[in-house]
Amino acid sequence: MNGAAAGQREPQGDAEDEAFALALRIVEALLFASAVPLSAEVLSRSVPAGIAVEPVLAHLAALYRPRGVNLRQVAGGWAFRTAPDLGYLLAAEAEPPRKLSRAALEVLSIIAYHQPVTRAEIEEIRGVATAKGTLDILLEAGWVRLRGRRRSPGRPVTYGTTPGFLDHFGLDRIDDLPGLDELKGAGLVEGRLTRDLGVPVPDDDPSLRDDEDPLGDLFSPLDDGEGGPQQG
């Protein structure tokens, strides 16, 4: 691997080298201080004029690759994360994660791949009724959000994933999600899903679709526009 591929940068001259070094310090400081991943676009607003942020990020990623924290692309941005091989050191201090039920895992998978999707559409794909409590757990975890209302009878709420979902599962973009076979191998979906289930190309574009309306200021999470049994 040559120097450029490893994130190294050839000397450009005193003034430009100084500007690049300053950009490294600025980007490093911003990433350390941020509680959420920062996009290259956001970071580029703070670096010296004439310095492209992409080489800066590549240089920092190479610099931190052998260290205890790594610079990684997650949720459409960049963030420092504990090196994967050292994660066990923090396990004792980390807050025990809430274990999701099989129903919650299935619902989360369906929302991730089929968003925007309503509860009735989730139930149709799963082949079983879905309790609102299951959706509430995913909403409280910050992995699922209310998008809007479908332009159909009852105006049911549509659900989609959040940047927090991508961050938690170490994904940079929604289309980094695995295929159906990988999901089954990981135990995220079971055989009770309908046999004709397909896995579309996931899309978490936050813009409302043509068949969605805004939620409205007076929306209550208890009113999703869909009734019926709530079984699992």
Q: Same domain, yes or no, for 73 and 116? A: no
Q: Is the pLDDT of residue 27 over 70?
A: yes
Q: Same domain, yes or no, for 109 and 209? A: yes
- The pLDDT of residue 230 is 44
How do residues 146-166 score in pLDDT, each as one tens digit? 999 999 998 999 999 999 999
Is 28 exposed, middle or buried (CB count within 10 Å of its CB: 0-12, 13-18, 19+)? middle
Structural domain total, the chain: 2
Range of the domain at 111: 102-213
pLDDT tier for residue 97 given thresholds of 50, 70 and 90: low
Of 53-57, 136-140, 179-183, minimum mean pLDDT range: 179-183
Q: Provide the residue count of the chain.
A: 232
CB atoms under 10 Å from CB of 181, counted, come to 9
Look up the CATH number of the domain holding residue 37.
1.10.10.10
- The pLDDT of residue 217 is 55
Q: Is-above-0.75 flag for pTM?
A: no
Q: Same domain, yes or no, for 116 and 157? A: yes
Of 54-63, 128-137, 153-162, minimum mean pLDDT range: 128-137
Q: Same domain, yes or no, for 21 and 68? A: yes
Alpha carbon 48 to chain centroid, angstroms:
30
Q: Same domain, yes or no, for 147 and 170? A: yes
Residue 4 domain-assigned? no
At 94, which amino acid appears? A
Nearest residue to 161 (alpha-carbon basis) of 150, 177, 179, 149: 177
Q: Same domain, yes or no, for 61 and 143? A: no
Of 14-18, 58-62, 186-190, 202-206, minimum mean pLDDT range: 186-190
Nearest residue to 27 (alpha-carbon basis) of 37, 14, 12, 13: 37
Structure token digits, residue 42: 């956001």
Q: Same domain, yes or no, for 83 and 172? A: no
